[in-house]
Structure 1
Amino acid sequence: MGGWTEILPVSFLLSSLVFVITLGIGAFLFEFLRKIGCRHSLERNATSDAFFEDPKSLKKVPCPSIFDPAEKYISLIIPAFNEEHRLPGAVDETLNYLQQRSVSNKSFTYEVIVVDDGSTDKTLKVAFDFVRKYNIDNFRVIRLGQNHGKGEAIRKGMLHSRGELLLMLDADGATKITDLEKLESQIFELAEKLKKLNMSSETTAELSRNLSDNAIAAFGSRAHLEKQALATRKWYRNLLMKGFHLVVLLTAGPGIRDTQCGFKMFTRAAARKLFTNVRLKRWCFDVEIVYLCKQLGIPMIEVSVNWSEIPGSKVRLTSVIHMLFELVLIRLGYGLGIWKIYS
């Protein structure tokens, strides 16, 4: 009997300790999620005083809103953090392509928006050199002042764009800019299908003829390159990626195989719904977008794109840990109803 009296208190203390730690973690997560939700509500309702700087005239140009009617055919949003070396080549290739299309098709109007995410190198100078060369109507720079994360940089760019179509792409030029035509054509094709389907339905209103009013998202994908990537990457990186994809599947559900490709296109209506709801500012905003598309009923298309690995990746082991934490936030934030979805 003496042995039991000694064992029971120890096991009880251990159980109590585990309970207290679990309760503390739960309280921390709840408060963390609540603060993110409160911050999002303030940002959502705040009147934006953002502006673009014109280095030619030295004037400040007020930023447009995603709620305004479209003024351009397409907007390209490039998030940039310390990209002084990779940005010039990617932007040159992008602008050459855009200019060629605009010459052959006068209705193809465009803007490129570089969002400087608090860079500490010469990224901002490089970006403003392009504004001077191509003028502020076609090339614009948003300064975030301090580093917030890729998700926040893209969100800001999307909310201040003028295009009917909005494309996010990385500053490294890993995806060929000509592949935007693949996403573009798939969006048009799906819009036509939905329009015909809804025209034959008496219970559903007809889709607008204006493309920007139809909510559709197209995701560039590297899933077709997976076998090649598995063969060239280290075994531990493959293990981490497999584990990450499993957690993504459990978080956002099936449908999109490659959520992390930085080449995504949205109609204006889709961008308006998605980027006024996105809360994550760093790594897993892509997964949150997929989750929101499903919750808001926005059709998604996954399109294979050409992609090549460019030196200078900012993904580290700590980044993977941060990603997993953000996936937990998505699951809990929306699952527990702490984060509201606005339609």
Structure 2
Amino acid sequence: MIYSWGLASASADSNLQLLLSSALSLSLLVLIAALTVAAFFLEYIRRVGCSHSIERSAASDSFFEDPSSLNKVPCPSIFDPADKYLSLIIPAYNEEDRLPSTLDETLNYLQQRSAAEKSFSYEVLIVDDGSRDHTSRVAFDYVRKYKIDNVRVLLLGRNHGKGEAIRKGMLHSRGNLLLMLDADGATKLTDLEKLESQIQMFAENVKKAESTPDSCPRLSDIEIAVFGSRSHLEKKALATRKWYRNLMMKGFHLLVLLTAGPGICDTQCGFKMFTRSAARKLFTNMRLKRWCFDVELVYLCKHLRIPMVEVAVNWTEIPGSKVRLMSIVHMLFELVLIRVGYGLGIWKIHL
């Protein structure tokens, strides 16, 4: 009996040791896997930062093509002095159907204003983000009609993402004021006057506070960003959308708050205006290329001490949204990139 109990006890100890050994081995494997994933993730963030640094210091070889003369027009730089009052940057990916109505409304407004205000000059910059349809053909038709000094098309060759398309457009624009707007025309273009008035008001206050009779800052040198907002429409949207979409929206807003902090209620509205000086700082630092570049802009504004103003705009939901389930996953991934990239100092912010 005693002998049998001893055998059972030894067997139990052996099983326990085997279980502990297996648990330890499994823990080590999990730890190694976690460290490997973390290493690859940090290396990915580092490479994004390195490619961004190389691009900041490299000369641009981009150009605009004039379909009328077939000449190549060198791209201007955001570091050049402004020679237009307003630049409108429109990112476009497979937008052959929605782009014409947006461009018609946009150019009608700009031409009427240009005729009424002699000091008003403009350019519309359409950035074709590697479209697979006839977006570029549609855009070039407007270049022929309105001439390349007023309408330009920048071809990116392959799809990079909305953020990258806007960044490229901003870096190659000529305006004192730079407005980004979506190709679907969801926001009424006349609302740009609301954003513009906020910048003008801020500029007047800066001039009164800082200028002397011999030195008056130019509009392009004053730093401010104005964000169009749909937050005043949120109650109506909550009532019409399905519960799970509202839940995802609330969850996303919470993550944005944790990432970029408070200050802007609607970071994702595609209607934003910047002075040239503010755009120069923001878009030469911006790294995200797709969905959450708007959140990164808010983050950069705070760390570069660029004042932000949020203005309510009219907005209509247009069919044809490109947001999918994987888009949401990518958004979450990019929010993590912002926190880790800037939080650990892997991504440097250049003043």
> TM bucket by the smaller chain?
over 0.9
Given that 2:282 and 2:300 are in contact with CA atoms closer than 8 Å, whether structure 1 keeps it comes out as yes
How does the TM-score come out when normalised to structure 2?
A: 0.94
How far off its partner does 1:209 sit?
A: 2.6
CA distance in 2, matches of 1:196, 1:334: 35
Secondary structure of residue in 2 paired with 1:302: strand
SS of the residue aligned with 2:285?
Answer: coil
- 2:278 equivalent among 270, 280, 283: 270
1:163 to 161, 164, 175: 175
Of 69, 92, 112 in structure 2, the residue corresponding to residue 80 of structure 1 is 92
1:186 matched residue in structure 2: 198
Residue of 120, 130, 133 corresponding to 2:142: 130
CA distance in 2, matches of 1:327, 1:191: 32
* Match runs of 1:15-164 below 5 Å: 15-164=27-176
Share of identical aligned residues, percent? 72
2:3 alignment partner in structure 1 = none
Structure 1 residue 17, shift from structure 2 partner:
2.6
Q: CA deviation at 1:325?
A: 0.1
Counterpart residue number, 1:257: 265
CA distance in 2, matches of 1:234, 1:113: 36
Alignment of 1:277-292 (within 5 A): 277-292=285-300
Give the secondary-structure state (helix, strand or coil) at the position aligned to 1:325.
helix
**CA shift for structure 1 position 19:** 1.2
Shift of 1:300: 0.3
Equivalent pairs, count: 338
Aligned pair partner of 1:322 in 316, 330, 334: 330
Find the aligned partners of 1:160 and 1:116 in 2 and give their Cα distance.
Answer: 14
Secondary structure of the 2:21 match is helix
Q: Structure 1 length as normaliser, TM-score?
A: 0.96
TM-fit CA distance, 1:13: 2.6
Larger radius of gyration: 2
Deviation at 1:41, TM superposition (A): 1.1
Indicate if the aligned counterparts of 1:128 and 1:141 stay in contact, CA closer than 8 A: yes
Could you tell me how far 1:207 is from its partner in structure 2?
Answer: 8.7
> Which residues of structure 1 form unaligned runs of 5+?
201-205
Residue type of the partner of 2:152? R
Give the direction of change, closer, same or farther, for the CA distance of 1:207–1:315 in structure 2 (3 Å limit).
farther
- How far is 1:6 from its partner? 3.7
* Structure 1 residue 208 displacement after superposition: 4.6
Q: Which residue of 2 aligns with 1:210?
A: 218
Consecutive unaligned residues in structure 2, runs of 5 or more: 1-11
Q: Which residue of 2 aligns with 1:174?
A: 186
RMSD: 1.5
Q: Deviations over 1:46-93 (max 9, x none)?
A: 111111111111111111110011100000000000000000000100
1:96 alignment partner AA: N
Moved over 4 A (4+): none
